[in-house]
Amino acid sequence: MKYKGHRRRHRHRRDLQKVAAVGDRLSELPNDLLLNILERVGTLDAVRTCLLSKQMRKLPAMLSEIVIVPRDGDLVRIKGVLAQLIDRILSTRSPLLTISKLMVRFVLTPDDCRSIGKSVGLAMATQILHKAEFEIVTPQNSFYCTHADFLNFGKQFSTFVADCQDAFAGLTRLQLQNMRFGESDIPNILSTCKRLESLSLFECDAGFRSVLHVEHARLIEIDITYGEFKTVELDCPKLQRMKYDNWPCDENPLVLGSVPQLSKLSLANEGLSDMTLMISQLLANAPVVRDLYLDFRSEKIWIQPECPRVLAPVLGQLRSVNLDNLPEECDIAWTMFLLQTAPSVEDLCISVRDHKCGSESQKARTKRTDVKWEKSGPKFKHKNLGKLTIYGFQTDGNFMGYIRRVMESALNIKEVSLHDRKVCKPCGDMFPHAEVRPSTYPRSCEEKDSLRNKITEASVMMASPAVIQFWT
């Protein structure tokens, strides 16, 4: 045993000698080349690498990008060390060096937060810092949080902002989770974060059925997921991208006030209530939306088909439409109303699937019915649609008739891309014995060629010879 221990120590000493040799070789490289390499591996790895050589230990304070985003498993373990590391890097920098990006992910603990905030605030006051981003994680996952935990985390964060106003005044991106604020807290936070361009809220709100009014002069992007807001009202003149995932109430979830530059809108919800959204009302103040993404979670279709006369004024700039997770029971023909009212659409993507991993009580409350719409006449033609993509394609009349109708209407369509069902792993894990509809997606080359011929032969009025592709 003594001999084995001696051999193990000797091997360890050899490994240390190899590491030291690597450090010596790296330190021989010019600083600009070393900094270029270090900025590609992330700041934490760069710091570890620089410990190999005395000559390299000054390099972390010379990086133009400081990106410290520990994995979830490391966040709690290094939380005290993280605050010290950030202070050491920022306090030893030359004020002549520009920081193009500072991004830090850390846990919401009062002492560490204050330390990080003071270090970043001082750096903003003494150095040139173009972009500063905070991603703040709570000590507990939302699944284990009580109502008191959400309130406590919201109070802790509001105190953090009040204590470190210099840091938040220069912040350009903020990502929060698991916080419940007081009525005036979010407006106060937004007024403090004067340079903020991106805001992400996950399970954050100001109480059930509260109203969130976001008014900010510089916000470009907002992402809200699983908040308990009754309504979100936006007055952001520079806002370009908005994502809202899972609103809880039956009322209009989103009011777009002054958002003249909004170009990308993403909405996702199960649509378990009887409410349906009218796109003409939703986008009345956002006529330049170019990219529309709607996720129905395989539940109810919660938008209402409208006539071209009403919708055309707000969808004139639309270029891309993505309708995700349509329920398998519904006829997809209703989606044609978007083509009829959006003459500039170039790319239409439809995904159909049947999720079983939602709660059974929700499934029971949901009434899935086909969407009624006024079908277009044979004279309807679309000049700009170039690509149609369908996920969940099956060889039944629902899909075959739809593809023919689109190909006959689209004068310049170049590609029809057809995919089998998307696989949902949680569905298989949670319901291993659930009945699954057998797939009729073509497998062999012969089956695919036969389907191509059926589609094109039936589309006698097809305006453009599109390429029909089947993807495995």
Q: What is the C-alpha to C-alpha distance for residues 99 and 181, in angstroms, rounded to an integer?
A: 32
CATH of domain 64-262: 3.80.10
Q: What is the C-alpha to C-alpha distance for residues 242 and 198, in angstroms, rounded to an integer?
A: 10
Q: What is the C-alpha to C-alpha distance for residues 85 and 239, in angstroms, rounded to an integer?
A: 35
Query: 3-state class of 322 per DSSP?
Result: strand
Q: What is the C-alpha to C-alpha distance for residues 122 and 199, in angstroms, rounded to an integer?
A: 23
DSSP 89-105: HHHTS-TTS-BSEEEEE
| Whole-number pLDDT of residue 19 | 40
Domain boundaries, the chain: 64-262, 298-472
Would you identify the CATH topology of the domain 298-472? 3.80.10
Residues of the chain with confidence (pLDDT) below 50: 1-4, 6, 9, 12-23, 359-366
Query: 3-state class of 21 per DSSP?
Result: helix
Q: What is the C-alpha to C-alpha distance for residues 158 and 149, in angstroms, rounded to an integer?
A: 14
> From the CB of residue 264, how many other CB atoms can be counted at a distance below 10 Å?
16
| Whole-number pLDDT of residue 429 | 64
Cut 0.75: pTM above it: yes
Describe the strand order of the beta sheet including 254-256 as a list of residue ranges: 210-215, 229-235, 254-256
| Whole-number pLDDT of residue 291 | 98
294 CA to centre of own chain: 13
Q: Helix 147-163 crosses helix 185-192 at what angle (to 10 degrees)?
A: 30
Of 417, 357, 353, 347, the residue nearest 382 (C-alpha): 347
Query: 3-state class of 59 per DSSP?
Result: helix
Phi and psi at 466, nearest 5°, equal -75, 150
Burial label, 150 (beta-carbon count in 10 A; 0-12, 13-18, 19+): buried
Beta bridge partners of 321: 292, 348
Alpha helices in 295-396 (DSSP H): 308-315, 336-341, 360-365
For residue 250, CA distances in Å to 134, 217, 228, 272, 275 come to 33, 30, 12, 9, 6
Share of the chain above pLDDT 70, in %: 85
pLDDT in tens, 352-387: 987 766 544 344 444 555 677 777 666 789 999 999
DSSP letter assigned to residue 144: G
**Domains 64-262 and 298-472 alike in fold:** yes
462 CA to centre of own chain: 37
Q: Which two tokens stand for residue 120?
A: 């970043």
Q: What is the C-alpha to C-alpha distance for residues 227 and 206, in angstroms, rounded to an integer?
A: 9
Query: 3-state class of 37 per DSSP?
Result: helix
Q: Which two tokens stand for residue 177?
A: 């989770």
Burial label, 333 (beta-carbon count in 10 A; 0-12, 13-18, 19+): middle
Beta bridge partners of 266: 243, 293
187 CA to centre of own chain: 23
